[in-house]
Structure 1
Amino acid sequence: MGSSERRVAIVTGGSRGIGRAVSARLAADGQAVAVVYAHNTGEAEGAVADITAAGGRALALRADVADEDAVAEVFDLVEREFGGVDVVVNSAGVMILKSVAELDLADLDRMHRTNIRGTFVVDQQAARRVRSGGAIVNLSTSVTRLSPPTYAAYAASKGAVEAIGPVLAKELRGRDITVNAVAPGPTATDLFLDGKDEETVERLAGMNPMERLGRPEDIAEVVSFLAGPGRWVNGQTLYANGGMA
C-alpha cells in the first residue's frame, strides 16, 4: 500500500497520556501517524519507536499548537511525507486547577492559549486540508457537566472546544468530513494524577458504575471509532466516562 492509499492521522499531544494511546491505536488501525508534541522529544520519539516496532508508520513533529505558522508547517510536512491528511485529533491540553478566587490569570491565559486557541488553529488547518472521508476529533472533558470545585477555568476552556465542533461540522457540509469531540472522565494519565493523593484518586474512581478510572486505551477506542467507522456521528460530544454523568 502506497503512502497515498493509507489513511493518515495527525495527533497533537501525541507523545503522552491519552494522545499517546490514540497515536498507537490509530497506527494499529492501519493509519500513518504524525505524533505532534510540545516539549518532550524523548517521549515523542518513544511513541514513534513503539509504533514502528509494531509494524506501523509514524513520525514525531515538534510544534506549538497555538502558533499558526508552526501548525501549517506540520500539515505541510505530513502531506509531503505521507501524501495527505485524513484524521486530525486535538489531544494537546493544559490543566491548572485553582478556585476562581485564587487562580493566577497568567494560568488562565496559558490554558486559553493551548486549549482554545490551539484547538482552533489546528482545526483551521484541518478544515482547509483534510481529505474527503476524513474526521476531526477534539478532546474535551466530562467536568463540563460535573462542575467540580477548582475546575472552572479548565472546564470553561473545554466548553469552548465543545462549541467549535457542531459549527465546523456544518461549515464542512458537502465534504464528507465529520467533526466531533470526546469528553473523557477521570483517566489514569500523568496530567490527571499529578498532585492527587491516593484517597482522592480512589474517590474519583468510585464515582462511575464501573468503579475504576478510565484507561487511555478506553478513550483511544472511542477516538478510533470516530476516526474510522463512525461516519454517522457528526457535530457531537461523546462522553467517555464509564457512566459517571
Structure 2
Amino acid sequence: MSDKPLAGKVALITGASRGIGAAIAARFARDGAKVAVNYARSEKEANEVVAAITAAGGSAIAIKADVGDPATIPPMFAAVTKAFGRLDVLVNNAAVMQRTLLPDVTADSIDAHFNVNVRGYLLCVKHAAELMTGGGSIINVGSAISRMAYPGAVVYTATKGAIDVMTRVLATELGPKGIRVNVLAPGSTRTDMNSEKSGKTKEEEQQEIAATALRRIGEVDDIADAAALLASNDARWITGAWLDASGGIRL
C-alpha cells in the first residue's frame, strides 16, 4: 500500500499558476496525485509549477482556460481526461478580487466577480461531476471574509457567500454519487491578491494579524495542507462543510 494519500488520483486545480493554487498543486503531487494546473494568463508561471512537480518525480500538465469564459471550460476537462483518463478531485480556486467601495461598484465589476467566482465554480462542478463516476472530492475555495463585514469588498464577499450556500446544495445533490463537496475558507493569506500589489496597506495587515487568534498572516502552505485533508480519504465522512483555515481570524 502506498504511503501517499492521493496515489492513483487525478486532481484539477483552477487558478494554480501562483499563490494558493500553486501550493495546492505542489502538495497534491507530493501526496501522489497526477495534477492538472489550470491558468488563464500566467503561462510561464504555470509551466514553472509543472516543471517543479515533474522534477520532484510527480506528474503534471498545464491547461489554459479562463473559467470566467464558459466556452473554455469543457475543453479544460477534456484535456484532463485525455492526459490522465479520469478525474477524482476538483479544486475551484481561480478567483477575481478587486477592492471596491460601494460608490465605485459597477455592473461590469459585479459581472467580473460573479462570472469567475460563482458561475465559473458552478460550471466546473457540473463538468467534474460528470467525470467522477466512482465518487470524488470537490473543494470550493471560499473565504473567511464571507462571515465578516469587510469594507471595500462587498462584491467579492457576496461571491464568497454564494459559494458557501452553493456548496451545501451541491453536497446534498452529489452525495448519492459518492462526491463530497466542501468549502475551504482561508483568512488573510500572503499572496499577490492580498498584498500591497492589491492595495493592502501595512496598517491593514497589522490589523488582520491582531484580529487573528494565531497572531500571524497565513502562508499558502497552510491552506494547501488543509486542502490535502479534504481531498484525502481521511475526510471521507466530511461533506457540505465550511472548513475555517483562517488561523482564527475574528473569532
Kindly report which structure 2 residues correspond to 1:91-170, keeping only aligned pairs within 5 A, or say none: 91-170=93-172
CA contact (8 A) 1:34 1:78 kept: yes
Q: Following the alignment from structure 2 to structure 1, what is the Cα–Cα distance between the partners of residues 221 and 245?
A: 11
The amino acid of 1:223's aligned partner reads A
Unmatched tracts of structure 2, length 5 or more: none
Offset at residue 202 of structure 1 (A): 1.9
Is 1:203 equivalent to 2:207 in the alignment? yes
CA contact (8 A) 2:54 2:60 kept: yes
Runs of 4+ in 1 over 2 A off after TM superposition: 66-69
Offset at residue 84 of structure 1 (A): 0.2
Using the size of structure 2 for normalisation, the TM-score is: 0.92
Q: Which structure shows the bigger proportion of residues in helix conformation?
A: 2
Q: Any idea what SS the aligned residue of 2:138 has?
A: strand
**Residue 13 of structure 1, aligned match among 1, 12, 15:** 15
**Residue 229 of structure 2, aligned match among 219, 225, 229:** 225
Offset at residue 67 of structure 1 (A): 3.0
What is the CA deviation profile of residues 104-144 of structure 1, one whole-angstrom value per residue up to 9, with x for unaligned ones?
33111100111111101111101211242410000111111
Offset at residue 170 of structure 1 (A): 1.3
Offset at residue 167 of structure 1 (A): 1.0
Greater shift in the superposed pair: 220-229 or 197-206? 197-206
Is 1:243 equivalent to 2:248 in the alignment? yes
Q: Following the alignment from structure 2 to structure 1, what is the Cα–Cα distance between the partners of residues 100 and 72?
A: 31
Q: Following the alignment from structure 1 to structure 2, what is the Cα–Cα distance between the partners of residues 154 and 147?
A: 11
What is the CA deviation profile of residues 180-239 of structure 1, one whole-angstrom value per residue up to 9, with x for unaligned ones?
011110000001112122222122122112110001111111110010121111011111
CA RMSD of the aligned region, Å? 1.4
CA contact (8 A) 1:95 1:191 kept: yes
Equivalent pairs counted in the alignment come to 242
Unmatched tracts of structure 1, length 5 or more: none
In structure 2, the partner of 1:33 is: 35
The amino acid of 1:77's aligned partner reads A
Q: Any idea what SS the aligned residue of 1:173 has?
A: helix
**Residue 26 of structure 2, aligned match among 24, 27, 33:** 24
CA contact (8 A) 1:66 1:121 kept: no
Greater shift in the superposed pair: 104-113 or 218-227? 104-113
Q: Any idea what SS the aligned residue of 1:172 has?
A: helix
CA contact (8 A) 1:84 1:131 kept: no
Offset at residue 152 of structure 1 (A): 0.9
Is 1:172 equivalent to 2:174 in the alignment? yes
Q: Following the alignment from structure 2 to structure 1, what is the Cα–Cα distance between the partners of residues 132 and 193?
A: 29
The amino acid of 2:74's aligned partner reads A
Q: Following the alignment from structure 1 to structure 2, what is the Cα–Cα distance between the partners of residues 236 and 125?
A: 21
Q: Following the alignment from structure 2 to structure 1, what is the Cα–Cα distance between the partners of residues 15 and 152?
A: 23
The amino acid of 1:181's aligned partner reads V
The amino acid of 1:235's aligned partner reads G
Q: Any idea what SS the aligned residue of 1:148 has?
A: coil
Q: Following the alignment from structure 1 to structure 2, what is the Cα–Cα distance between the partners of residues 212 and 98?
A: 25
In structure 2, the partner of 1:90 is: 92
CA contact (8 A) 2:29 2:58 kept: yes
